[in-house]
Amino acid sequence: MASIAIKRAAGVLVAALLLGAAAVGQAQQSPSAIAQSQSPAVNPQEADLAKQQTAQQQKQPLNNQPVWKEVRSGLPQTTSLPGRETNVLIQSQGQTWRAARVAVSTALGFVIAGLLAVLFGYYFWRGTIELHGKPTGRMIERFSPAKRIAHWAMGLTFVALAVTGLIITFGKSLLLPLIGATLFSWLATLAKSVHNFTGPVFSVALVIFIVMYVRDNLPKAHDVQWMLKFGGMFNREGGEVPSGKFNAGEKGLFWSLVVVVSPVLVVTGYILNFPNFDQTRSTMQIANIVHLAAALIGIAMACVHLYMGTIGMRGAYQAMRTGYVDETWAKEHHEYWYDDVMSGKVPRDSEPRPAPLPHGRPA
């Protein structure tokens, strides 16, 4: 009996020693080892990156290249902010966008400058296009009040957008050295506000303008003859090619600038103006480059229209300001339209009236 009791006591002692050894081993285990044993499996790629970061910290403590490589990778991280791309800290394509923006604006800026030089040269060579016949003093209506309002609403908002857009695009390079940082900061802030709030107004005016003017700008067979001779624009002796209410050049400007370029400006402008549409940064970068290119091309086209509508042709501005032109002007510049009006083929908005005196009273 004594031997059995001794054996039992020895077994209890061995078991106690084993449990004590296990407790000591658990106590000596590092906290990181405990956390690793209790945490889920680590992604091998993340583990490798962590090793790289640790090695880089030991080698160059102030130049942790693996960390910034991960930041600039564009891979989604963890964030509490909802929305698209809010979990991407840095988008490396942004540098490509900045470089492309400068290249596009510089190239098209030189195009606008070159076009202005050509227009000035043409004016000094040709001068203002004058009437060859004597004015009759009888005025016929060319544009109704509604069409003139639509034209000025679209035109003035376009000019406001063009001027403010040029300030935003080229102001830092051209204006800042001339007027100083304080004044340029005020001017740039004002230009940005005017640009952002005028854009939606322009989009509405554009639709109304297209609806009201599209019928008169439909292509006709006689437009081909005008294009072949370029409307007689290079004939200093005069003799324009007959055209309808709008010649082929005006129709080309309508379809290219108004129908194609301007809607592109509107769509890309809305993308840039309202980032809360939940578009990505890549979408906004592409929209910015397209908007910039379309705007500068549109400004170049508009310069030609502004030239012909002011100093380029006498009587053109009066037609849009008052709505009326002299019969001689209509016959020389738009003969087919004049014939249609006089024959009754085109309904008159009003009967011919005497030309106004300088003070605005009828003759």
Q: Does 332 lie in the same domain as 228?
A: yes
User: Does 61 map to a domain?
Assistant: no
Band of the pLDDT at 363, cuts 50, 70, 90? Answer: very low
C-alpha 125/C-alpha 231 separation (Å) is 17
User: Does 208 map to a domain?
Assistant: yes
Phi then psi dihedrals of residue 176, to 5 deg: -55, -45
Domain count of the chain?
2
* Arithmetic mean of pLDDT over the chain: 84
Q: Does 148 lie in the same domain as 112?
A: no
Which range marks the domain in which residue 153 is found? 144-213
Q: Does 335 lie in the same domain as 295?
A: yes
Q: Does 257 lie in the same domain as 156?
A: no
Following DSSP, what letter does each residue of 22-33 receive, concatenated? HHHHHHHS-HHH
Q: Does 103 lie in the same domain as 171?
A: no
pTM of the model: 0.75
User: Does 159 map to a domain?
Assistant: yes
Half-sphere exposure of 298 (CA within 13 A, CB side): 26
User: Does 81 map to a domain?
Assistant: no
179, 196, 213: which is the final residue of a domain?
213
pLDDT, average across residues 49-66? 73
Q: Does 301 lie in the same domain as 268?
A: yes
| pLDDT(29) > 50 | no
Following DSSP, what letter does each residue of 55-110 receive, concatenated? HHHHH-TT--HHHHHHHTT------S--STTTT-S--THHHHHHHHHHHHHHHHHH
| pLDDT value of residue 90 | 77
Q: Does 244 lie in the same domain as 181?
A: no
187, 213, 239: which is the final residue of a domain?
213
Band of the pLDDT at 358, cuts 50, 70, 90? Answer: very low
| pLDDT value of residue 354 | 56
- Write the pLDDT tens digit of every residue in 104-132: 999 999 999 999 999 999 999 999 999 98
- Write the pLDDT tens digit of every residue in 185-230: 999 999 999 999 999 999 999 999 999 999 999 999 999 999 999 8
C-alpha 184/C-alpha 94 separation (Å) is 25
- Write the pLDDT tens digit of every residue in 158-176: 999 999 999 999 999 999 9
| pLDDT(291) > 70 | yes
Q: Does 121 lie in the same domain as 153?
A: no
Q: Which residue has the tokens 């339209």?
A: 337
C-alpha 2/C-alpha 136 separation (Å) is 147
| pLDDT value of residue 33 | 45
Cross-strand pairs, 138: 354
Cβ(218)–Cβ(243) below 8 Å: no
User: Does 222 map to a domain?
Assistant: yes
